[in-house]
Amino acid sequence: MATVLFIVWRESLEAVLVIGILYAYLARLGTGRRGRAWLWAGVAGGLALSAVLALVTMRIETDLQGRALQYFQVAMMGTAAALLTQMVLWMHRNGRRLKGDLEAELDRAVGTGSLLAVGVVALLAVAREGAETVLYLYGLGLEARHAGAWALGGSALAGFALALATAWLVARGVRFLNYRTFFRVTGVVLLFTAAGMLVSAASQLIGMGVLPALVDPVWNTTWLLDANGRLGTLAAALTGYRPRPSLMLVLLYAGFWVFVLARLRRAPPDSAAPTRAGAAAPAPAPERP
């Protein structure tokens, strides 16, 4: 039962963390109820999509359907990674401006496009591991029909509650940070999440034979941190850490960070006094693949 608790906690943690940070962003942007409505709509949509994806997974008959589902998952993770990265870059450019009395203007600057992006990210973050959790619990439920279905449900709920508590702690914790540190810390967390999604998407494509692995594996750091252990599983889920990555994964992971760091350097945090023109800076629009 401890395993059930841990698995549900681990599977929900990423989504709950992302949602916690988005919530904090919206609070700092002063988008109020309008922003939160988009966020919760995304979460609800993510839960619904999880159920649909779980059902689809169980009903897949042909190879073609299997591949279609895999492409869909890759698209989900790719879109989520792109949107998250874009949000962090936008926050990096505009974070300093979010101080104090410009809230009303910012509220206008953060257009519906950005809030839609927030909703979509929440939806994808939930649906990414949600379907798997649904299938996991469904499978266990079938097997445990007579033996301890209640204990099972209890453990699952406890795991989910623990994930919520973790996110709440994080949200509480970052509230006391000053603006600079707040955006730095949450930005790093979200970028690692995006990198992890990118690695998962690429692994999926390699497993489908679409991308070559090149050299598999390039190295082995299991001695340093074993991703089969609990700490290692968490690192794998939250940062994209892989102890025995293929060259393709290493190249993509490195490429992601080179791209992000270059963008961060090119657009240093805006330290100039905020201007009207500044407040109307373009909000992140969802990227079209």
Partner 1 sequence: MSKTATGLRRVGRPALAALALLLAAGARADTLRVIDLAIRDARFQPTTLTVPAGEKFKLRVTNHGPGVEEFESVDLNRERIVPPGRSIEVYLGPLKPGRYRIFGDFHPATAQGEIVATEHK
**What is the nearest approach in angstroms of partner 1 to the Cβ of residue 154?**
18
Told to check if 206 binds partner 1 by CB under 8 A, we report yes
For 159, 173, 174, 188, the CA distances from 181, given in Å and listed in that order, are: 30, 12, 9, 10
Is the CB of 11 or the CB of 17 nearer to partner 1? 11
Q: 153 to 182, contacts with partner 1 by CB under 8 A?
A: none
- Cβ of residue 282: shortest distance to partner 1, in angstroms? 8
Element (H, E) at 37: helix 32-59
Closer to partner 1 by Cβ: residue 42 or 243: 243
Q: What angle do CA 249, 128, 240 make, to 5 degrees?
A: 30
Q: How far apart are CA 223 and CA 241, in angstroms?
A: 14
Residues 219-258 that bind partner 1 (CB under 8 A): 222, 227-228, 232-233, 236, 242-246, 249
CB of 129 to partner 1, least distance (A): 11
Out of 50, 86, 155, 203, point to the residue binding partner 1 (CB under 8 A). Answer: 203
CA dist 122 and 17 (Å) reads: 10
How many CB atoms sit inside 10 A of residue 143's CB?
Answer: 11
Residues 91-150 that bind partner 1 (CB under 8 A): 132, 135-136, 138-140, 142-143
Given candidates 52, 60, 254, 262, which one binds partner 1 under the rule CB under 8 A?
Answer: 60
Q: Does 42 bind partner 1 (CB under 8 A)?
A: no
Where does this chain touch partner 1 (CB under 8 A) — which range of 32-40, 107-115, 163-171, 198-206?
Answer: 198-206
Least distance CB 148 / partner 1 (angstroms): 15
Judged on CB neighbours under 10 Å (0-12, 13-18, 19+), 134 is buried
Residue 208 gets which letter from DSSP?
Answer: T
- In this structure, which amino acid lies at residue 182? F
Give helix 63-94 / helix 32-59 axis angle, nearest 10°: 160
- 218: DSSP letter: S
Q: Determine if 216 is a binding residue for partner 1 (CB under 8 A).
A: yes
Number of Cβ atoms within 10 Å of the Cβ of 200: 23
Instruction: List contacts with partner 1 (CB under 8 A).
Output: 3, 7, 57-58, 60, 63, 66, 132, 135-136, 138-140, 142-143, 199, 203, 206-213, 215-217, 222, 227-228, 232-233, 236, 242-246, 249
